[in-house]
Structures are given as C-alpha cells and as structure tokens.
Amino acid sequence: MEERILIVDDDITFALMLRTWLSKRGFGVETASSAAAARTALGAGAFSLVLSDMRLPDEDGIALLQWMAGAGVTAPVIVMTSYAEIQNAVRCMKLGARDYVAKPVNPDELLKKIREALDTPAPKTPAAKPAPRPAKGGPAEALNYIEGRSDAARQLYEHIRLVAPTNMSVLVNGESGTGKEHVAQLVHRESRRAGKPFVAVDCGAIPRELAASEFFGHVKGSFTGALSDKMGAFEAADGGTLFLDEVGNLTYETQVQLLRALQERRIRPVGSNREIPVDIRLVAATNEDLEAAIARGTFRADLYHRINSFTLRMPCLRQMREDIPLYADFFLDQANRELDKRIVGFDPAAAAALAAYEWPGNLRQLRNAVLSATLLAAGEYVTCRDLPEEITGGPAAESPAAPLPLRDRASEEEQIRRALAAAGGNKSQAAKLLGIDRKTLYNKLHLYGIE
Ligand SMILES: Nc1ncnc2c1ncn2[C@@H]1O[C@H](COP(=O)(O)OP(=O)(O)OP(=O)(O)O)[C@@H](O)[C@H]1O
C-alpha cells in the first residue's frame, strides 16, 4: 500500500509543486490549504504523514497539532517553517511534531526526514504499518528553485502550469539571469514528457558550420572532423523536450533548416540519406525582442510563429521587489550548504540594500552577490561590508535608501539592536535605517532598556 502524505499549506503553488514532486517519488499526496481543510482531510482518510506549514490562514500549526492529539490522529507531523519562526518549530516538537524543515525547503533534506519519520514508528503507535519503500528519488534539481509570491511571479507560474501539459511550443522571453532555463525545465517536468529527455542547445555557442550537425547529427566521414556517427539534438530529445536557448542567435541558414525539421517532424543527419521521424516539444528562450529582429530581417517570421505558440514573459527582479528577501534567503541557504557556513541572515542595512538595488543581472546577480557575501561574512549576519560595492553604493554608503519596517513588538527590539549594530552605535544612522525619527528611537531604546 502506498504511503499517503497530507500537505497543509496555504501557498497553493508551493503545495502543488511539492505534491507533484512527492507523487513522482511514489507517495500518495493530498493538499489542504487551511487548518480546517486539514482536519476534514484527516478525519476522512488515513494518512501516514502530515507536512504542515506553521502559518495557516485560520490557525497555526500548533493548534492543528493540539487538535490531532485530541482526536487521536497519530500520523507523524513535520512542520515547515521559516528561519524566523524556528522558535515556534521547537514548540511544535515539544507538542509532538516529529521534525521540522526550514523554508525554503531543501528537497533532499525533506525526503530524508519523511523517510525517517515513516520508518520510525511513533512512540504511541501500537501497530505501525510496515512502510513500503517509496519509489527511488529522481534528481534533486526538482526543487532547486523557489517560486516568488509577488503578483508577477504568481502569474508566471500560473501560465507555466497551464501551458506545460499541452504540446504547444513555448517561447520564454526575458532579460538575462531571470531564470529562463529554469522555467524551460519546469515546463518539461510538468508535462507528459517528463520521463523523457530534456535536451538543451545553446544556439549562441554553436559555430555556424557545425549547427546542422549539432541539431540533426552526422554520419562518419561526412565532413572533415566527422570521425564517427553523431546523434543530433532532435534525435536525442525524441519523445521529450528540445530547449533552444538564445534562439535569436541562430543564423538565417540554420533557421531555414530548423523550420523544415519542425514542419516535417523528420530530420536527416548530415551526410546521410536516411530520414528519421522525431517527436519533440519545443521550448525556446531569448532575451532579444524577436519581433524587432524580424523587422530588421535577421529572424524569420515563419520560424518565430512555429516556436511561439505561447509566450512566457519572465518578470525582471526589480518588478518583483517584494520577492527579493525570499530569493535572498533561498540563495543564502544554498550558499551556506555550498560553503559549509552557518550565516543566519542579512543585517537590516544589508537587507535594505538588497531590496533597494536595481538588479540588472536579475536572479543570477542576486545569487552571485549572496554567495560571495556568505563567503566573506565573518559574523552571524551578512552586512553591507560583505556585499559588492555596486549594490551598497560604495564603501562609504552604508545607509540604504529604503527604510526598514518595524513589525511587531517581539521583533522590534531585535531589529533595533541590529540597526544599532549595523550603524556602529550611531543613533541617527540607526533611526534612518529603521525609517523612524531620532526621538522615536530614543523612546523605544528607553522602552526596551537598550543602552
Ligand atoms: N526561481 C528560481 N529560484 C532559484 N534560483 C533561480 C530561479 N531562477 C533562476 N535561478 C538562478 O538564477 C540563475 C540564472 O538562471 P537561468 O540560467 O535560468 O537564467 P536565464 O534567464 O536563462 O539567463 P541567460 O539569459 O543569461 O541564459 C541560475 O543560476 C539559477 O540557479
């Protein structure tokens, strides 16, 4: 019998992604977007495990745990929580949660914890069922990205999920570093071709004279240097997805050849007279305005229409400002793992500098900035000193443009202490960082007894 997991999270996109990912690993998965829906689902069917977010729209994870204990639901619970809420996760563990994972979720870690929870019977469970091993895990790549929560990001992922299951050719259009290749892979993973190959060709990197061979293959001896038979990208992607990156860089001649192959659904390797039928779904990416290229006469209109049954427009990072902290935390987590460091977060000034910057290099630039800052950070937090100068506005400009919001009383004291530390004890500077005037800061210092 398959193991059934209930995911409780009001972030529907994330829950669906997790459901797909876990289903592919052999679990039966259901989702609930509120504590009330979770109670209904738990009441209606047996689950082997519950994976619940800490914050739910109607109640928190703690209340759900208490209800489960009262209702005699013994399935182990793993809570998902942000770094800021680790304290609550600890409370959940005291209330009987089996484990917790930090969001953004690291898929390998999550799978490991799920398996551990399923393999170790709960102390009070009298007859734990023998757990059949879930299907073997696929590449960890599957969750190696995070979905933004801004309107622009939500709309992108909504469109991806609509177009992915179809056979339509997709053009991914956006600035460099916005994650076009990631999106192309996601379209593949969420399609019916997911079990088949995903073959990426960087159209900007193929020498003109080798393009035909790269796409269609060649037979030995067909040209100087063709030392053996070679399979082309079309044939390699048969049944799956062919991803043409930087499609605007194709020469006119190659565009004609591609168009023919796409129309006829057959290819002929260079030097061969054998035609091979191919079944591919095309995803192409570009950071160029292809319509302008058509107007200039450098890109064929007929090929454009072939590769562009549907356009996915990638928002640039500055259009998703509210997602910057989310991505920054995600990249920090990646960097901590990669560099074996334990940096907890960004100090207020660094966080504000990240939020205010324009990010011409988009997610790639943010990832690189966070990676190098993680390497440089000497304390617990990334500070402005650790960030590249173009982001902080130079070594002297430690004060960011955007003020830091003060949220609730619990976090306020901590924010104030961090702002003071970031400002080297200078109260005017700290007040500026916090977006409050000096007098208010003095009042608050008095209130919290901060010297
Ligand atoms: N949603 C995401 N979550 C986490 N990381 C991401 C996401 N999207 C992109 N990245 C990271 O940003 C970097 C750039 O992504 P990618 O190569 O897909 O961009 P691109 O738009 O194809 O860039 P280019 O046009 O320059 O080829 C990658 O290192 C990737 O890891």
Query: DSSP secondary structure string, 56-71?
Result: -SSSBHHHHHHHHHHH
| E strand or H helix at 286 | strand 281-286
Tell me, what amino acid is at 447?
L
Pocket test for ligand 1, best of 363, 365, 367, 371 (most atoms within 8 A of CB): 363
408 — pLDDT class (breaks 50, 70, 90): low
pLDDT tops 50 at residue 403: no
CA of 52 to the centre of ligand 1 (A): 28
Which range among 59-63, 122-126, 268-272, 406-410 has the greatest average pLDDT?
A: 268-272
- Tell me the ipTM for this assembly: 0.97
Look at residue 416 in the predicted model and tell me its pLDDT: 79
Distances (CA, A) of 137 to 26, 74, 141, 297: 9, 26, 11, 47
Q: How far does Cα 230 stand from its chain's mean position?
A: 35
CA of 218 to the centre of ligand 1 (A): 32
pLDDT tops 90 at residue 35: no
CA of 207 to the centre of ligand 1 (A): 24
pLDDT tops 60 at residue 398: no
Look at residue 138 in the predicted model and tell me its pLDDT: 34
> Cis omega before residue 165 (within 30°)?
no
Pocket test for ligand 1, best of 173, 175, 182 (most atoms within 8 A of CB): 182
Look at residue 141 in the predicted model and tell me its pLDDT: 36
pLDDT tops 80 at residue 183: yes
Query: Which tokens go with 347?
Result: 């100090």
Q: How many CB atoms within 10 Å of residue 123? A: 7
By the 8 A CB rule, do 29 and 7 touch? yes
**Rounded to an integer, what distance in angstroms lies between the CA atom of residue 422 and that of residue 440?**
18
Q: Does domain 320-448 have CATH number 3.30.470.30?
A: no
Find all residues with CB under 8 Å of 46, minimum gap 6, and list them.
4, 75
Could you give the angle at the alpha carbon of 173 between the alpha carbons of 167 and 176, nearest 5°? 135
Find all residues with CB under 8 Å of 7, minimum gap 6, and list them.
15, 18, 19, 22, 29, 30, 31, 32, 51, 52
Pocket test for ligand 1, best of 175, 181, 188 (most atoms within 8 A of CB): 181
- Give the lowest-confidence range in 9-23, 144-158, 215-229, 295-309: 215-229
Look at residue 96 in the predicted model and tell me its pLDDT: 79
Residue nearest ligand 1's atom 6 by CA: 145
- For tokens 């459901």, the residue is 19
Torsions phi, psi of 126, nearest 5?
-70, -45
Coil, strand, or helix at residue 99? strand
Tens of pLDDT, residue by residue over 109-163, are: 899 999 988 887 655 333 332 222 223 233 333 347 888 889 999 999 999 999 9
Mean pLDDT of 363-389: 94
**CATH number, span 151-313:** 3.40.50.300
CA of 270 to the centre of ligand 1 (A): 34
Tell me the domain boundaries of the chain.
4-139, 151-313, 320-448
By the 8 A CB rule, do 49 and 117 touch? yes
Strand 281-286 relative to strand 28-32: parallel, antiparallel, unpaired?
unpaired
DSSP letter assigned to residue 312: E
Mean pLDDT of 413-435: 74
Look at residue 61 in the predicted model and tell me its pLDDT: 82
Q: Which residues line ligand 1 (CB under 6 A)?
A: 145-146, 174, 176-182, 285, 287, 330, 363-364, 367
pLDDT tops 60 at residue 238: yes
Residue nearest ligand 1's atom 4 by CA: 145
Mean pLDDT of 402-414: 57
Calculate the average pLDDT of the chain: 84
CA of 243 to the centre of ligand 1 (A): 15
CA of 183 to the centre of ligand 1 (A): 8
State percent of the chain over pLDDT 90: 47
CA of 363 to the centre of ligand 1 (A): 6
Tell me, what amino acid is at 213?
S
Longest dimension (CA), the chain: 86
- Give the lowest-confidence range in 128-132, 253-257, 307-311: 128-132
- Give the lowest-confidence range in 172-186, 207-221, 243-257: 207-221
**Rounded to an integer, what distance in angstroms lies between the CA atom of residue 392 and that of residue 398?**
6
Residue nearest ligand 1's atom 29 by CA: 364
By the 8 A CB rule, do 227 and 220 touch? yes
Residue nearest ligand 1's atom 8 by CA: 179
CA 403, 407, 412, 417 torsion: positive or negative? negative
Mean pLDDT of 417-446: 75
Name the CATH superfamily, with its identifier, for domain 4-139.
Response regulator (3.40.50.2300)
| E strand or H helix at 212 | helix 211-216
Residue nearest ligand 1's atom 15 by CA: 179
Separate counts of helices (H) and strands (E) for the chain: 19, 14
Look at residue 136 in the predicted model and tell me its pLDDT: 28
Residue nearest ligand 1's atom 25 by CA: 176
CA of 191 to the centre of ligand 1 (A): 20
Could you give the angle at the alpha carbon of 311 between the alpha carbons of 307 and 313, nearest 5°? 135
Tell me, what amino acid is at 230?
K
Q: How many CB atoms within 10 Å of residue 390? A: 13
CA of 370 to the centre of ligand 1 (A): 14
CA nearest neighbour of 15 among 30, 36, 35, 37 = 30
Tell me, what amino acid is at 366?
L
Closest-lying ligand 1 atom to the alpha carbon of residue 147: 1
